[in-house]
Each structure stands twice: as C-alpha cells, then as structure tokens.
C-alpha cells in the first residue's frame, strides 16, 4: 500500500516563527503536492513538485516556500507564520499521468 506520512498531526506555533511541515511518501512517486484545507473552501493547492529540486506555484503560494531535496520528501516552509495560516495542511503524491492522488493524514496547524 502507498503510504504518505506527515511529521505532525497537530502543531501550535507563535506568530513570526519559522515552521517546517514534512511529508514523506514510500512509493517512488514523481509528483508531490501541498494543499491547505479550510471550511467552505475545499482543498487549495499551495505548491507542487514533479521532480527533485523542481517546484511550481499552485493557486495560493504567498507566504509559503517548499523544498524537495530527495524524491520521497517534500517540505512546506512558513518563513514567518501568521494567524491567517492557521489551517489543515495536506500532503499528497502521485505518479505522472492520469494517476491517483494519495493523501497524508494532514497536519492541523494553529498559529497564535
């Protein structure tokens, strides 16, 4: 079974802190994604990567950056966390082409 794991289920940070969210997949998928999920807004794409060291902006990249140094790992970085970044963050991975997206369990981030 494909497994996508995220480093934390719950995270509480202070405004202005640098925050790292880690995602690891074990099925050698080329594509990896970061979404945020907010009530009534669904899942919105922040960034995605289709290869090591490659990244592309999604629909809401402002305030975020990403890093992909290894194929299996994709990190989301909040350089200076703000309260409006309080949300559920979901990582996903997939093969190229018309493939299934596999999601991690999510990290609920609260910024105080």
Per CB under 8 A, 59 contacts other proteins: yes
Q: What is the 3-state secondary structure (H, E, C) of the chain?
A: CCCEEECCCEEEECCCCCEEEEEEECCCCCEEEEEEEECCCEEEEEEEECCCCCCEECCCCCCCEEEEEECCEEEEEECCCCHHHCEEEEEEEECCCCCCCEECCCEEEEEC
Positions 24 through 53 that interact with other proteins (CB under 8 A): 31, 33, 35, 40-45, 48, 50
Residue 74 binds other proteins (CB under 8 A): no
Give the interface with other proteins as residue ranges (CB under 8 A).
Answer: 4, 31, 33, 35, 40-45, 48, 50, 56, 58-59, 90, 94, 96-98, 100-106
């Amino acid at each position: 079974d494909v497994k996508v794991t995220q480093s934390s289920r719950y995270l509480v940070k202070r405004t202005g802190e640098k925050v790292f969210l880690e995602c690891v997949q074990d099925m050698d998928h080329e594509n990896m994604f970061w979404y945020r999920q907010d009530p009534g807004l669904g899942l919105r794409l922040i960034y995605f990567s289709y290869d090591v060291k490659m990244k592309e902006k999604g629909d809401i990249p402002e305030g975020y950056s990403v890093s992909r140094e290894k194929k299996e790992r994709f990190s989301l970085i909040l350089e200076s966390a703000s309260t409006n970044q309080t949300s559920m963050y979901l990582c996903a991975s997939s093969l190229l082409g018309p493939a299934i997206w596999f999601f991690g369990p999510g990290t609920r981030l609260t910024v105080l």
